[in-house]
Amino acid sequence: MPKTRKRILTGDRPTGSLHLGHYVGSLKNRVKLQDEYESYIIIADVQALTTHWEKGESLYQSVMQIASDYLAAGLDPNKVTIFIQSMIPEIHELTMYFSMFTSVNVLRHNPTIKTEAAQHGFSEITYGFLGYPVSQAADITIFKADLVPVGEDQIPHIEFARKIVRRFNELYAPVLVEPQAMVGEVPRLIGLDGQAKMSKSLNNAIYLCDSPEEVNKKVWNAVTDPARIHKNDPGHPEVCTVFAYHQIFNPQEVSAIEIDCRQGNIGCVACKKNLAHKINQLLAPMHERRQKYSPDDIKDILREGTLRAHAVAKETMEEVREAMKIAYF
Ligand code: ATP
Ligand code: MG
């Protein structure tokens, strides 16, 4: 299949439902660019195993959940190819070839690997976890992707993938394409608990599938300015999670809210109610779109997407093997 348009490759690990961090960090860009780019969206189930190797039985459910989240967010299966990583064996083959010229020390010093290892409480890290940026480089490059819409934490991995491409092309032949990262309007959305990152694993997220009641409850419990006890106490929006979310999900009112908060004119209760309402407005059309797809529809979309993706991956691997002079017969 010759490349007729620029390509996108991006995706998520099926370790749970997608949340607002995914939406503003990457998903929103994917929806926006689906008409312009030939888009491949990977459900990275093998990468999920790097931290969830004991929870294989929950993968299927998470794969279905993430696919449903994609469709709810507005990815159109007639425009984008959604596929499952483990079902493309060529990705694993390319990972192996890349690993031959990848330094272990470079992986050890990768800042995202370090942060995530600490986040997961790993006292020791596995071969698979340490090497996931290599496998991610294979995911991207097997599709000759030009652009990778991702959150900020992924930048070191895209930089690493670019280096692998340069090295491969220099060692063998110029077959692979150097990808560019594209970070969303919010590079890193903070968690409801005020932690640095909203994350599935940290249990501090508002999910795209959360009902209005769940959203209300979560926003109600979000961390605010601890110095503010009474409604009329002057607030410090810069330390308040709810304010950080107003900046993103309620841009029209944010300036007024900042002034009112600093002057103690608006209480946290009203401020939280307003935010929950804005988030529910964002999620409402997603709930509606989600209803349109049955589990069987989702399985068909994944099956067809995986077949299409597999055909592209096979072609690149033929070129890779030719370039590496390991195409024997
Ligand atoms: P896990 O905790 O299982 O690693 P995660 O919430 O970090 O899950 P991933 O599947 O690792 O999600 O990330 C998928 C994509 O979403 C990546 O591009 C990542 O940068 C982006 N992303 C995840 N969380 C956020 C966030 N809080 N803000 C912005 N982008 C995010
Ligand atoms: Mg992650």
ipTM: 0.93
Q: Which atom of ligand 1 is nearest to the CA of 191?
A: 27
Q: What are phi and psi of 133, to 5 degrees?
A: -65, -25
Q: What's residue 57's pLDDT? A: 76
Q: What are phi and psi of 49, to 5 degrees?
A: -65, -20
Q: Which domains does the chain have, with CATH numbers?
A: 7-189+294-324 (3.40.50.620), 210-288 (1.10.240.10)
d(CA 131, ligand 2 centre) in Å: 14
Q: Is the CB of 189 under 6 A from ligand 1?
A: yes
Q: What's residue 284's pLDDT? A: 98
**Single pTM value for the model:** 0.94
Arithmetic mean of pLDDT, 137-156? 95
Percent of the chain residues topping a pLDDT of 70: 100
**Dihedral sign, Cα of residue 151, residue 153, residue 155, residue 160:** negative
Among candidate residues 208, 168, 230, the one with its CA nearest the CA of residue 28: 208
Q: Is the CB of 69 under 6 A from ligand 1?
A: no
Residues with Cβ within 8 Å of residue 231, at least 6 apart in sequence: 264, 267, 268, 269
Arithmetic mean of pLDDT, 222-239? 86
pLDDT tens-place string over residues 239-291:
999 999 999 999 999 999 999 999 989 989 999 999 999 999 999 999 999 99
pLDDT of residue 151 exceeding 90: no
